[in-house]
Structure 1
């Protein structure tokens, strides 16, 4: 009769489970997460007021919107690596202090140029916030089960902020001036500055390499030109400037990868991408966000400019879907304990495809109830998929490199947000311009403005006589909805591709 010798289990074999202080620290780390996601959606509601108050040029208005994600996306990897080096909590506190101070300055900016400068500075400090929060979760929660729940709550903060953005923005702009949307940062970040030093322990890479100044420059020259080029393509179509920007970004990215592979202690260990769990999770994040942002680009305009709802009413229509995203992200935690992550992600994204399918079958002119139901399905799938994929990103990377790994996940999110608008948004815009029939009786300037965007047509209609205004609005709304079917089919393709990527790259990853 054979026997086996078992080694006694020691405390080092089982990760320590986090206590009450860790969960209180998570609550504190939710503050910047909530703020950044609110900030992503609330600005769009303030743009009409900013345009009226500061009178920026068309180019200036574009830069007010674009400069923040350009700087943010370009610096995420560098700031994640800096947090690994100097301390993630320290970087978080520096970012929070700067973000709050610059937000207060932006609220009272007397000109468009100063507001653009403030938005650029917000991108710098915002890049310090997000990788720090996710990477700190890796060091606070060493138990895998608890960490998965913590990441689900962290992801729920993003969804909650997206839900609160339209509602809070609508309420503020009904009672206060445009700068009030920037002042939101101050009361949110002050508790973080007080409580984080008490509740969040410092963590860093114990053996960081030397500062890679050239690597930081290359990372900025990779992401910022690519984001700019994509946005320019989306707005103006193909041009020498947009193509050149993307070429510069790709070339800088190639040099960045080559440099990191040759350095003994790289700023970002590119070999992480050879791990299927890491690279697969990043691609799932990217494709999921593209489909989500593309959907929101369409539905936010349809609800307000086609159906005629107010910003607050539109936010309330989207609220059930965003709440579903939060709940599904939390409910997937016990499921992910027993089911392989590839199957969990693929199953969730199948639900998301169902949401787009509902829009595709309905076509243009969908009532708000259909859009509400489709967004509930989309949110349920993406909430589950994002929780599992984000947890895989930070758990697959070495704990000492958690900041850089988290920055990769955040970069995928920012790039996905840009691509969502650029791909699906451009399709709808191109379809609108091709299908619009401008009625006779408009001046050349009015026809040009109405032919650019649905918002332009609505603005022009406000200055026209009743019958002519109704004719223009009917044509513009029909033209806008004409591209919905094709866009929905592409959305189905995006989430289906993400599901296949999850099944292929995560097939060997156990629950």
Structure 2
């Protein structure tokens, strides 16, 4: 018996059937939703300056515009994953694709910050129907260990490719059209899914689904939103009664959700999964690697455009090789784990990612995009490796019949990490910007107060000022932004360093 059969035999107790052409064609279709989500999540960062000028959101509104999508998606993943088990995962994929396209159009034509926030929330709800289907179907398609690891690497590489494609397409559109055009690029991917999925992806669902628990669905969403809101407000304004209250309410609702899952005969998520050390460690590593990548990406895209003065497309081109490196490192991880233990491979990825963040953010006072290029190249190599291997460990740690729950947790960690990365590192940036904004005596108090919100707001105000005052205002704004960016780097490097140490001593599964 082959080594990979012995590995799978621990779970299946039967000879492993290797995947053929139909399974690989189905994988090609399953990567399309991942591509769509990745494009949508990365393209917004380049649209921030343009939509800031058009809609004039406040600093808090801007953060909600960016992260409400991920908050809603993360909060509903478990709910939608359970729904897919009942109505069919492929059917849920098709419903979500149509809904995502319609919500993208609503987002593109938003006319106010409030409308854009609401549209992004609807987009997140639709996106939550797409993600749970992919990994759970993949786990049922690929039982052979090496084929599964390669399939997950391709799945992860597609996400990285989408992250690279999004800024390029978005940058081109922003150079030639209005900011809302970046959301309309979802339409071609949606059409491909609607055509190809019924032909190539087999339907799968739980033949004996338990009772659907609506209170659990409400609790899962109600627990996530207050926690993230509380973190955001505490980071932005310091200790205060309202954000502390929100944080406590969210944690209490989360505890109620966990208690309810333990009591139910058919829980939405089996919390016993977290007693598996490999599964739990994979979720933690997944969350924090995405936290750093997406949060720093949000900051650096603004730095390239607002501080260095690059256009959206030019800024995207500087960062595209990093996303390509992330895709390649995900594939290289399949080979690397044959040479070293899994924990060392993941630790190496996190160390590379931390070094890249340090180079990108802590040296930002040197106005040369090449430093950002090298730093993001390291970040892409490291995060791609850590993310792909942690996903494989999460899926492989459970029996195939529990793959749906494992996939929902994995994707929730990804989206929650992305949302928290933007929320926490974004508020660190805003706090550093406001505390370091010192425009000097040549700028009026009213103008300085408005420019202190965001660097994008400062640039809009500078266009209507005399040259000497505009220069003072923008110099102060750029200096304040670098102050906030340095703080972001310190926080992100510290978190990734701690995660690397955690992975080395906790993530001890053999190859």
What TM-score do the two structures reach when normalised by structure 1? Answer: 0.91
Which segment is superposed worse, 286-295 or 115-124? 115-124
Structure 1: gaps spanning 5 or more residues: 1-6
For the structure 1 residues 475 and 383, does the alpha-carbon distance in structure 2 shift closer, same or farther, using more than 3 Å as the test?
same
Residue 450 (structure 1) aligned with residue 444 (structure 2): no
Superposition CA RMSD, Å: 2.5
Which segment is superposed worse, 358-367 or 329-338? 358-367
Q: Does the 8 Å CA contact 1:233/1:422 hold for their aligned counterparts?
A: no
CA–CA separation in structure 1 for the residues paired with 2:358 and 2:115: 44
Tell me how far 1:323 sits from its aligned partner.
Answer: 0.9
For the structure 1 residues 82 and 337, does the alpha-carbon distance in structure 2 shift closer, same or farther, using more than 3 Å as the test?
farther
CA–CA separation in structure 2 for the residues paired with 1:53 and 1:453: 14
Q: Which residue of 2 aligns with 1:263?
A: 264
Residue 330 (structure 1) aligned with residue 315 (structure 2): no
Matches within 5 A, 1:47-196: 47=48, 50=51, 63-109=64-110, 114-196=115-197
Structure 2: gaps spanning 5 or more residues: 1-5
For the structure 1 residues 257 and 27, does the alpha-carbon distance in structure 2 shift closer, same or farther, using more than 3 Å as the test?
same
CA–CA separation in structure 1 for the residues paired with 2:506 and 2:217: 29
Q: Does the 8 Å CA contact 2:56/2:457 hold for their aligned counterparts?
A: no
Tell me how far 1:262 sits from its aligned partner.
Answer: 1.5
CA–CA separation in structure 2 for the residues paired with 1:248 and 1:496: 30
For the structure 1 residues 332 and 47, does the alpha-carbon distance in structure 2 shift closer, same or farther, using more than 3 Å as the test?
closer
Q: Indicate the SS of the match to 1:155.
A: helix
Q: Does the 8 Å CA contact 2:38/2:163 hold for their aligned counterparts?
A: yes
CA–CA separation in structure 2 for the residues paired with 1:400 and 1:237: 45
Q: Does the 8 Å CA contact 1:234/1:425 hold for their aligned counterparts?
A: no
For the structure 1 residues 450 and 115, does the alpha-carbon distance in structure 2 shift closer, same or farther, using more than 3 Å as the test?
closer
**For residues 126-162 of structure 1, what are the alpha-carbon distances to aligned partners after superposition, in whole Å with 9 as ceiling and x for unaligned?**
0011121121111111111111111111111221222
CA–CA separation in structure 1 for the residues paired with 2:327 and 2:190: 22
Q: Does the 8 Å CA contact 1:84/1:401 hold for their aligned counterparts?
A: no
Matches within 5 A, 1:76-475: 76-109=77-110, 114-359=115-360, 362=363, 364-475=365-476
Q: Does the 8 Å CA contact 1:206/1:400 hold for their aligned counterparts?
A: no
**For residues 206-236 of structure 1, what are the alpha-carbon distances to aligned partners after superposition, in whole Å with 9 as ceiling and x for unaligned?**
3322111111111111112222333334445
Q: When the two structures are aligned, how many residues end up with a matched partner? A: 502
Q: Does the 8 Å CA contact 1:88/1:403 hold for their aligned counterparts?
A: no
Tell me how far 1:61 sits from its aligned partner.
Answer: 5.7
Tell me how far 1:238 sits from its aligned partner.
Answer: 4.2
Q: Does the 8 Å CA contact 1:303/1:309 hold for their aligned counterparts?
A: yes
Which segment is superposed worse, 45-54 or 227-236? 45-54
**For residues 284-340 of structure 1, what are the alpha-carbon distances to aligned partners after superposition, in whole Å with 9 as ceiling and x for unaligned?**
011111221232133212211111111111111111111111111111112224432
For the structure 1 residues 424 and 71, does the alpha-carbon distance in structure 2 shift closer, same or farther, using more than 3 Å as the test?
closer
CA–CA separation in structure 2 for the residues paired with 1:37 and 1:137: 18
CA–CA separation in structure 1 for the residues paired with 2:111 and 2:28: 36
Tell me how far 1:240 sits from its aligned partner.
Answer: 3.3
Q: Which residue of 1 aligns with 2:3?
A: none
Which segment is superposed worse, 496-505 or 97-106? 97-106
Q: Which residue of 2 aligns with 1:3?
A: none
Which segment is superposed worse, 396-405 or 477-486? 477-486
Which segment is superposed worse, 69-78 or 12-21? 12-21
Q: Does the 8 Å CA contact 2:63/2:422 hold for their aligned counterparts?
A: no
CA–CA separation in structure 1 for the residues paired with 2:175 and 2:17: 49
For the structure 1 residues 353 and 183, does the alpha-carbon distance in structure 2 shift closer, same or farther, using more than 3 Å as the test?
closer
Q: Indicate the SS of the match to 1:179.
A: helix
For the structure 1 residues 291 and 319, does the alpha-carbon distance in structure 2 shift closer, same or farther, using more than 3 Å as the test?
same
**For residues 82-135 of structure 1, what are the alpha-carbon distances to aligned partners after superposition, in whole Å with 9 as ceiling and x for unaligned?**
222322112111111211233234434566655444332222110011121121
CA–CA separation in structure 2 for the residues paired with 1:341 and 1:157: 22
Tell me how far 1:17 sits from its aligned partner.
Answer: 1.3
CA–CA separation in structure 2 for the residues paired with 1:66 and 1:356: 21
Residue 488 (structure 1) aligned with residue 489 (structure 2): yes
Q: Which residue of 2 aligns with 1:510?
A: 510
Q: Which residue of 2 aligns with 1:4?
A: none
Q: Does the 8 Å CA contact 1:234/1:421 hold for their aligned counterparts?
A: no
For the structure 1 residues 65 and 489, does the alpha-carbon distance in structure 2 shift closer, same or farther, using more than 3 Å as the test?
closer
Q: Does the 8 Å CA contact 2:291/2:417 hold for their aligned counterparts?
A: yes
Q: Does the 8 Å CA contact 2:359/2:375 hold for their aligned counterparts?
A: yes
Tell me how far 1:360 sits from its aligned partner.
Answer: 6.6
Residue 497 (structure 1) aligned with residue 508 (structure 2): no
Q: Which residue of 1 aligns with 2:44?
A: 43
Which segment is superposed worse, 280-289 or 164-173? 164-173
